[in-house]
A and B are shown apart, each in its own frame.
Chain A
Amino acid sequence: MKKALSFLETTIGKKVVMALSGLVLFGFVIAHMLGNLQVLMGPEVFNAYAIGMHSLPAPIFWGGRAVILIAFVLHVTMALQLVTRTAAARPVPYTKKKNERTTYAALTMKMSGLTLLFFVLYHLAHFTFPGVAMGAYEHLGYTQVYSNFVNGFSIPWVTALYVAAMISLGFHLYHGSFSLFQTLGLVHPKRNHIIKGAAQIVALTVTTGNIILPLSVTFGLVS
């Protein structure tokens, strides 16, 4: 008989990589949100935060970015491999199919993932490597993030795009965070309602927190 598939060749192996890289990205998203919410505390605090981040020792600053980048690449790669593989698993679709338990978040995981992939690329072009992308504005470098923030979100369709992407993120995080526990085998019938409740609260918090950011410019809280 043939040799067993290696860890990364199996769907469970790939999903474990997705779970762990997802966890890293999850942590990043929360830290990113908390960092950026400092914009509500005024230009001095927010600019000092950006300058502080950049003056971190190089191994921490670039090491951190590298970890996030690696997690992102692994997460996307594994997702693409799994999705393309599973696309072939049911060549003839059902004429009638009733779904009785699954959620909107679970069914739209591929769509929300793809949305976030494009959003991240746009977001980097918007603030980190500005001028590349649509929605260009006068960018003054990281020492002036506050004015970049205000200028960047002065364009209504950019704000709309961010809000839509953050709603996608909420759904993605909700299904992703519960799935993480299931994939790593950390669920327990007695704890599942806590995990699900926490997943809902965190997803809602991240979405709300991140939507406040562009809308704070729209409604003149930050100017």
Chain B
Amino acid sequence: MVNIPVITRRELSSYFLSPMAYVVLTGFALSHGILFSLGIGSRIEPNMQAYYAFYITLFLLILAAPVLTMRLVSEETNQGTIETLMTTPVTELEVVIGKFMGALVFAAVMFLPIVVQVVYLRFLGPVDVGPVLAGFLGLFLLTGQLLAIGLLCSALTRVQIASAIISFAILIGLYFMWYLGQGSPGMGAAVLRYLSPPWHYVNFAKGVVDTRDVAYFVITTGLFLFLTVRALQLRKWR
């Protein structure tokens, strides 16, 4: 596991050397900022506005996560650097975790505008710290899960744009399950709701930390990372 920080550092430096990263950072900051300021007029109560800040991030991540992860493995496969990487004394697990951590740290930088917004809200009135921390925990868990899905898609194809489209389609599907599951009675709808990330994330945004929601994110993220490791291992047999 000693190689994980080495790979994470390289991924981070690679992010900050690519113009796409700045497009994503700027795009996220602008769109989040615009949506946030539109909400301020209708939600005077700062705690509601903080909830809103986390809520809109849910939807922006559908676009941001596939773009952030699309190059992680597919670029290595396409450029052939996967061969130089996988013939050094590193394991597939180290590569996957290292890349995942790199994307997660970059996403944390992307979320800095939310911190600024929360600080700004404190000037408008009292903001409960607990729900805000819960929101950030949820954001961290949700982002991890969506990045893990994107990473898996990136390991399945050597074409970056294909990776982004596949992971975008999966995320749309997962979000759509939330929409379908809402308001419908019955077991099927409950299963759909339970499997969709937004349903769990919204609880965090509201300030509710439920271990079932934490477990959901941890298990699904672990599952997608495991599948990515397997995809990298099986690549040899293609």
Say if A and B assemble together: no
Q: Which residues of B contact A (CB under 8 A)?
A: none
